Structure 1
Amino acid sequence: MTGKIAVVVGGAKGIGFAIAGGLSKEGATVLLTGRKPDEVAAAAETIGASARGIQADAASQADLERVMAEAKRLHGRIDVLVLNAGLSEPATITEETGEHFDRHFAVNVRAALFGIQAALPAMEDGASVVLVGSIADVMGVTPFSTYGATKAALRSYARSWAAELASRRIRVNVVAPGPTDTDMMAAVSEEMRQALIAPIPLGRMAHVDEVASAAVFLLSDEASFITGAELCVDGGMRQV
């Protein structure tokens, strides 16, 4: 990643922060975004001089356009794009509301679509993109059906975008974690945590660095002939 310019949307904490840190360790210059200014500043400071934080709401098309324009202004191009902004809140069918539905699709899907759209004018031919999905894209996980539906949408978009951008040699892939120890997961009850761990053959949740390593691989030239794919980091949960 030496000399690469990377933008990580949703890179202030959790998996996104781990990916931003992994890219930096491999030599990339990283611009990371988050909704809360203090979290963004802390994340960039922790990663070090190769990172810069930009406050932005991933659900805002104008904010995404501002971020990509800033990346081009500062560095002239974008080589690596990570679309990680995500939201996961439970709701059964009877509990679902329009606001809950719209909020999840705005953050989990709309942000990815308009993030890549805003980035494309600054992206070099041969650039790489990773969408952070979830193995929930093909599983019936109650009461997180809307969350799963958003991740299924991302998986579909990745296939279409990989085909559409192939002429520019821009690769688009998905890293799909299983249950992962993040702040988002910390809000889940202990009973739910154990229920999530039970079907994982390796007997634990993923660490964020394990997901980040998979994402960095897909973004790197080591994965130069991989596009439109989904790499599951799930301890065998969906594989066995």
Structure 2
Amino acid sequence: MRGLKDKIIVVTGGAQGIGKATAVRLNEEGAIVVVADRNVEGANQTAAQLGGRTIAVSLDVSSRESWKDAVTQIVDRLGRIDGLVNNAGVTRDRSLLKMTDEEWNTVIDIHLRGAWLGCQTVIPHMTAQGGAIVNISSDARWGAFGQSNYSAAKSGLVGLTRTIVIEHSKHKIRVNAVAPGPVLTPMVEAVPEEVRKGWLTNIPLRREAQPEEVASVIAFLLSDDASYVTGQIVGINGGSII
């Protein structure tokens, strides 16, 4: 893909799942990848696996101070930031009437507040040279049983993505989101087998996505091959939403 070589790209939640697959793909394309995760051991392992110029930083995406510290480290060490992938995520599933404040707040704070803080903190370092941001939404943004917190967060990311396009296209900053269906990550693999089988009945391709399939779309959106693509929500769902 054009334009990824030597670009400095931060991937949150980069220790596993979609984040790790994205870090691997970007590294293959010649980018300088920053693996950012509160799981510091996992982030270091991913960085060591990729080798070369990849670095790891500790980051709690729900904390403004953690974002400030991480971005300061990155800019001091590498000089700039060209791309950001807001991927960090968790689930705390429970039906609406049984969901606790902690379960609601944890999911909203990591998915939605985390991406908001990330964009607030990183964009000032992109305005001089431009950049690209990819947020990770989900098919669940349309609503999913037991996921009022997750669905609200993923829907909110759509509004956040499009608002940043309106406000910062003048700085040559592109912002898009990907909206995967079920992806074979540790988070999905923890879901009961009978639930996962139910998903497949609504997916024409009759399988879950591999993390690498999502990572390839993220890499495209960050690349110069997508230089006229912004404000889009790209479904990666095997045809479950047409």
C-alpha distance in 2, partners of 1:209/1:223? Answer: 18
> Percent same amino acid among aligned pairs?
37
2:138 equivalent in structure 1: 134
Report the alpha carbon displacement of residue 2 of structure 1 after superposing the two structures with TM.
Answer: 0.8
Matched letter for residue 130 of structure 1: V
Q: Deviations over 1:93-129 (max 9, x none)?
A: 1111111111111100111011111112222432100
Residues 1:117 and 2:123 are matched in the alignment: no
Name the CA distance, whole Å, in 1 between partners of 2:123 and 2:163: 15
Deviation string, structure 1 residues 183-210 (Cα, Å, up to 9, x no partner): 0011100011111121000010000000
Query: Structure 1 stretches of 5 or more lacking a match?
Result: none
Superposition map of 1:164-183 within 5 A: 164-183=167-186
CA distance in 1: counterparts of 2:103 and 2:238, whole angstroms = 30
Residue 134 of structure 1 aligns to which amino acid in structure 2? S
Q: Tell whether 2:81 aligns with 1:95.
A: no
**Alignment of 1:31 onto 2:26:** no
Which of 155, 158, 163 does residue 160 from structure 1 map onto? 163
Q: Secondary structure at the match of 2:130?
A: strand
Quote the Cα distance in structure 2 between the aligned partners of 1:47 and 1:148. Answer: 33
Amino acid at match of 1:60: S
**Is the 8 Å Cα contact of residues 65 and 115 (structure 1) preserved in structure 2?**
no
- The question of whether the paired residues in 1 share the 8 Å contact of 2:92 and 2:104 is answered with no
- Which structure 2 residue ranges, 5 or more long, are not aligned? none
Deviations 1:110-160 (A, max 9, x none): 11011111112222432100001111112x310112101100000110000
Distance in structure 1 (CA, Å) of the matches to 2:231 and 2:5: 24
* Separation (CA, whole Å) in 2 of partners of 1:18 and 1:202: 21
User: Residue 205 of structure 1 is aligned with which of 195, 205, 208?
Assistant: 208
Check conservation: 1:8, 1:81, Cα contact below 8 A: yes
**2:52 alignment partner in structure 1:** 49
1:194 maps to what in 2?
197
Aligned residues: 238
Return structure 1 stretches of 4+ with deviation > 6 angstroms. none
CA distance in 1, matches of 2:57, 2:222: 21
Separation (CA, whole Å) in 1 of partners of 2:129 and 2:113: 24
Counterpart CA distance in 1 for 2:123 and 2:156 is 20
CA distance in structure 1 between the aligned counterparts of 2:46 and 2:201, rounded to whole angstroms: 32
Q: Please give the root-mean-square deviation of Cα atoms over the aligned residues, in Å.
A: 1.0
The 3-state SS of whatever aligns with 2:98 is coil
